[in-house]
Structure 1
Amino acid sequence: MRAVTVTPGVPGSLRLLHDYPEPATEEGAVLVEAVAVGVCGTDIEIIDGQYGEAPPGAERLVLGHESLGRVLEDPTGTLQAGDLVAGIVRHPDPLPCPNCAVDEWDMCRNGLFTEHGIKGLPGFARERWRLQPRFAVGLDPDLDEVGVLLEPTSVVVKAWDHIDRIGRRAEWQPRTALITGAGPIGLLAALLASQRGLSVHVLDRATEGPKLALAGALGATYHSGPVEELDFEPDVIVECTGAPVVVLEAMCKVAPTGIVCLAGVSTGGRTIDFDAGALNRTLVLENNVVFGSVNANRRHWDAAAEALARADRDWLGSLITRRVPLSEYASAYSPGPEDIKVVIDFTASPERR
């Protein structure tokens, strides 16, 4: 079968293999036929050789951690043939750490977890893959065009879950949320804020294009200037850019007793002249919280599936700005200026076998 692969740590090693082995039964009882995989910055960084780890004994790593497929068989009876599913990315470490031992693998403490398409497990950018039932998340059949958004949605569900938990330290009645960054993570974070009934604001550097319309369709107010120039103080900020200036401005802008969730990852290597003492004073005297969030566990994936089922299908579909057949896979990893989410569509290829 065909699979999109790289040699981890080797830039320019992206290849579509036509003779990749069928998934071994050791990977799981549930056999799935791929429908689509989403592409994100993590994939591009792995292709650039920045990180990535092949499975033990393998030279190449199958890419793809944003998955959608249909069940071919499940001898355990947990799922039925034809069910629409996505695969949970992270698996707990083998020791396990205290968090992995209770299925909170998103909070792994020793770093020995594995991740499909990233670290030690083959990804979902192959025509067929297997999973254990506990890592297969069922989706509403009506999500067959947009269910590939489940993985990024799970990430922001976890972020909001932790925001809610932190908020319960006191009387928590947030009214206003600011989302910085209008990529897939940011717009999905705005979707969840809207579903919570908050007044939503989205900030991004784009001044035209689909991001403005997508934010507007949620009822959100769109901004394109600096965070520090906003004329309000949000109760919650979900920072999705990773841009150092935006991160620091967000921490300074949140309202008293507010919460800032850092969901974007900075590249590093840039120094900013910044008054850390003033920030410390503000955080302490106003009881503010800044925390980081990444990945998701099964509880978040299930909640993400419910959130997608409640969302407008047309709006979700508009997030996917380009669908690429498997035969043209390489173009999927070269995003254009208007792209929000690019998807490799396995059903569009007449060569499937």
Structure 2
Amino acid sequence: MKAVVIRNGTDRQYVTVTDIPKPGPIGPEEVMIRVLSVGLDGTDREIVMDRYGVLPEKAEQMVIGHELLGTVEQAGAASGFEAGQFVTVLVRRPCGSSACLPCRHGQQDYCRTGLYTERGIRAADGFLCEYVSELAQYVVPIPQACASYGVLVEPQSIVEKAWSQIACIQRRVAWEPGTVLITGSGPLGILTALTCRSMGLETHVWSKSGRDSANARLIRRCGAFYHEARESAQPGEVEPFAGGLNAFAVEQGIRPDMIWECSGHTPLAFESMKLLAPNGVLAILGVASGDTRLNIPSDALNQEIVLNNKCIVGSVNASRADFETGIGRLQTIEAQFPGMLTALLTDRLTMEQVPGLDFTGIAVKAVVDLASMET
């Protein structure tokens, strides 16, 4: 069967389409899945464009892709699934260390050892291939009504994990958030905006994308406010990183109860700490892989966090519960903003287009189609 893999080369890794064996016979607690489509995100961009990938030990290649929508081709007798069901699959697998309490309790998204594996990302084959076999415990059913946007379940689960953490943290205080600021208008930023708007929150999105970009139009379509970032910081700000977020917030009179950093531009996380309202929460969803250095007013930021009871949380991988909550949330979003989720899926690709893909040319969200839902 065909697959998109990252492979060791003479000087560096490279991505290519190749033939690999189809998964063999499944066990009673396994499921064979026919892959319909796989979404691409910032991690895939790093793998494809920057040749970043952690291959399984002693392996020369690894199938990439981790945002799966598929249908059950075969179901083991004890799997609890049946042929024809739409499904997705969890990404992370436990480290296996007896000393790792979270992994021992099915919370591998909180793994302490760092020895976990992630399908399509770290030491385990992913989903950008025609068929995948998986243990039923890692397979999540998707209602047929959600199939057209089912490939968004995995990224939505990241938003849901952050929400669940925020809900736990904010039990500390009587708190009714009203205003939200989101930095970044990529797919994760848009899903966060849709989530916040589905909950009735005043939502502001601040991003470098143009006012007439597809991202900005989608954000305004759900009733959120879109603000195009300026290209340079203002005098006296934390660091001259692109945008001047503090100046923008002061100018607009925004004092958000929650800030969601979805751009992956690390300096914004530090600048956001100052902007939060007292008792507010900063959720960091974007991840940077570079080595950005900053000069920051550490004492002032320390005072903001301690004296105003501010919290910072991160979310990068999610549990089964977050996947299931994400499915429900996507259904709510679709009911309130019909067609928004499928409109987010702007670029439909073939497997052959992935190795040479220029991610800068993607309007909003790229999806690789492997099979039709009707076949």
Where on the TM-score scale, by shorter chain, does this alignment land: which range?
Answer: over 0.9
The AA in structure 1 aligned to 2:223 is G
- Give the equivalent residue in structure 2 for 1:175: 178
Q: Could you tell me how far 1:25 is from its partner in structure 2? A: 4.8
Q: Does 1:81 align with 2:97?
A: no
SS in 1 for 2:126: coil
The AA in structure 2 aligned to 1:15 is T
Q: Does 1:188 align with 2:191?
A: yes
Contact 1:325/1:348 (<8 A) preserved: no
SS in 1 for 2:39: strand
SS in 2 for 1:95: coil
Query: Gapped runs of 5+ residues in structure 2?
Result: 230-243
- Give the equivalent residue in structure 1 for 2:239: none
The AA in structure 1 aligned to 2:74 is E
Q: Could you tell me how far 1:339 is from its partner in structure 2? A: 2.0
TM-score by length of 2: 0.87
Following the alignment from structure 1 to structure 2, what is the Cα–Cα distance between the partners of residues 50 and 274? 32
Q: 1:24 to 1:121 in 2, by over 3 A?
A: farther
2:162 to 159, 163, 166: 159
Contact 1:127/1:346 (<8 A) preserved: yes
Deviations 1:42-79 (A, max 9, x none): 12322356542333443110001011101011122511
Deviations 1:231-283 (A, max 9, x none): 21100001011213322221110101111011111234232332111111111
- Give the equivalent residue in structure 1 for 2:359: 335
Q: Does 1:17 align with 2:18?
A: yes
Following the alignment from structure 1 to structure 2, what is the Cα–Cα distance between the partners of residues 55 and 26? 22
Q: Could you tell me how far 1:39 is from its partner in structure 2? A: 1.1
Q: 1:108 to 1:50 in 2, by over 3 A?
A: farther
2:288 to 258, 262, 266: 266
Q: 1:165 to 1:50 in 2, by over 3 A?
A: farther
The percentage of counterpart residues that share the same residue type is 34
Q: Could you tell me how far 1:14 is from its partner in structure 2? A: 1.0
1:113 to 96, 113, 116: 116
Following the alignment from structure 1 to structure 2, what is the Cα–Cα distance between the partners of residues 183 and 341? 8
2:214 to 210, 218, 222: 210
- In the TM superposition, 1:1-353 aligns within 5 A as 1-7=1-7, 11=12, 13-18=14-19, 20-25=20-25, 29-48=30-49, 51-75=52-76, 76-96=78-98, 97-207=100-210, 208-225=212-229, 226-228=244-246, 229-230=248-249, 231-312=253-334, 313-331=338-356, 333-347=357-371
- Give the equivalent residue in structure 1 for 2:236: none
Paired residues, number: 348
Query: Gapped runs of 5+ residues in structure 1?
Result: none
| CA RMSD, 1 decimal | 2.1
Q: Which moved more, 1:309-318 or 1:86-95?
A: 309-318
The AA in structure 1 aligned to 2:2 is R
TM-score by length of 1: 0.92
SS in 2 for 1:192: helix
The AA in structure 1 aligned to 2:254 is F
Following the alignment from structure 1 to structure 2, what is the Cα–Cα distance between the partners of residues 253 and 168? 22
Q: 1:216 to 1:138 in 2, by over 3 A?
A: same
Deviations 1:119-169 (A, max 9, x none): 121100000001111111111212222211111111111011111111111
Contact 1:209/1:338 (<8 A) preserved: no
Following the alignment from structure 1 to structure 2, what is the Cα–Cα distance between the partners of residues 8 and 116? 17
